[in-house]
Amino acid sequence: MGDVSTTVIQSAKNVSGSLRVPGDKSISHRYAMLAAIAEGKSQLENFSTGADCASTLECLRQLGAPAQRHDTKVEIEGRGSALHTPTAALDCGNSGSTMRMLAGILAGQPFTTELAGDESLSRRPMQRIVAPLTEMGASILSDEKFHPPLRIKGGTLHGISYRMPVASAQVKSCVLFAGLLAKGETRIEEPIRTRDHGELALQAFGAELERSGNQHSIRGQQRLHAITATIPGDISSAAFFLCAAALFPDANLIIDGVGLNPTRAAILDFLRALGLRITVMQVEEHNGEVLGTLRVQGGGTLGGGRVAGRQTADMIDELPVLAAIAPYTREGIEIRDARELRVKESDRIASMASNLRAFGAEVEILEDGLRIPGGQQLHGAKLDSFGDHRIAMAGAITALRAKGATRIRNSGVVDISFPGFFSTLETLVER
C-alpha cells in the first residue's frame, strides 16, 4: 500500500466510556456473497465499514449483482445462481476473505474469472482452496506456489467428500459455497471446529445443511432467497478495546451490539481468566448469530496464560492484541499452534515480535508462536504496521502503557477493518 500515514499514541492513565465497533467483517463478506446469488433484494444493516468488505461489494457489482451502499446499510440485488461474466479482473484489494470465499462461487459459474489483489494479498498462498475446487471440477491457474492472481475457469461442479488438512473457516465457506452450486452432496470434515458464520449465513438465506461435530454436508443446487438482516459488531475489533481495558485497574467500558457467536467468543473467556471483569447484557439473536452489550471493567493485576490447540484457532484474529498486552501481565503469555499467523496480511509472528522488541520488550519467537514474559516495563517506540491492520491496532494498545510517545508508521491500514479506530480510541483515553 502506498499509505505512509503516521499516528502518534501517547501513554494513558485509564480508558472509560462507550463505543460501537464496525459490523462483523466475516459475516458481512458471507452475507454479501450469498445475497448476490439469492433471488430478490437483500437489505443488510450495520455492514462492515472496512475496506476488505468494500472490495467484496465491488467484485459483486462487476459480476452483475448491484450493491447500493448508504453508510452502514447495503442493498444487494440478487442474480440467482447465475452471475454475469466480468469485463476485467476482479480486484480483491487486501482481502484474502474475498478471494478465498468468492472463488467457491466463481468455480460454479460457466465463465472464466481472474481474481487479483494488492501486493500483500499476492504473497498469500491459495493452495487450500485450489485443491478442493479442482477436485470438484473447476480449472484454476496460478503460479507454482499458488499465489494470486487466480484464473478460475468455472463450470459444472460435482460434490466431493473433503477432509480439510488445516482448520480454516474461509476454506470451509469456500467449499460449502461451491457445494451449493454443485451436483450432488458435498461433505467437509475439519480437523478442529472453526467459526461457523458460513453455515449460519447459508441457513439464513434458506439453504439446508447437516452439521455433526466437525462434519458438514450440503446438498447442491438449492435456491437461496433474499434476507433482511442486522450484522453484529465485530468481536475481533472489540478485542482491541477489551485488551485496552485490561491494562488499567479502573477501566470501565461499554461496547454495544457485539457479536457473541460461541465459535468467536473464546477471547472473552481468556480475558476473564487473566483477571478482566466482563459482563454480558441485552443478549439477542439475529439469523442464528448472537449479539449483546459488553461491560468491561479492569480487574487489577493481570495473571498470564497459554493459548494452544483449538483455542488458537478460535482466537486467531485476536492473537496480535493478546501479544500486545502480554508484557504487562504478571506471568506472561505463550502462544502456540499459530503457524497460520505466518500467512496473514503480514507474518504476524515476526511483525509482533519486531514491534514488541522496539518497545524494549523481551520476546521469544517460536516456530508456531511467541513466548512473551510478563512483568515488563516498556518505553515509547517507532513501529511499523507492516501493511497489516491488526498489527497497527495492536501496537496502539501496547503504547497506552508504554512510557513516552509511540509513532506507528503506515497506520492508515487500519481502514481495512476499522476506519476511525484511532479517533475512537482517543475518545476513551484519559491522560
Instruction: Compute the residue count for the chain.
Output: 431
Residue 187 neighbours by CB distance under 10 Å: 16
Backbone angles phi, psi at 204, to 5 degrees: -60, -35
Whole-angstrom Cα distance, residue 298 to residue 429? 14
From the candidates 91, 317, 384, 415, give the one annotated as an active-site residue. 317
- Please answer whether residues 22 and 241 qualify as being in contact, where contact means their C-beta atoms are separated by less than 8 angstroms: no
Grid cell digits, residue 320: 496480535
Phi/psi for 213 (5° steps) reads: 60, -125
Closest CA to 168 of 143, 200, 197: 197
Q: Which residues, in sequence order, are CB contacts of 248 under 8 Å at separation 6+?
A: 12, 13, 14, 15, 298
Q: Is residue 380 a contact partner of residue 348, using CB atoms and an 8 Å limit? A: no
Active site residue 91: no
Beta carbons of 199 and 287 less than 8 angstroms apart: no
The residues that are catalytic are: 317
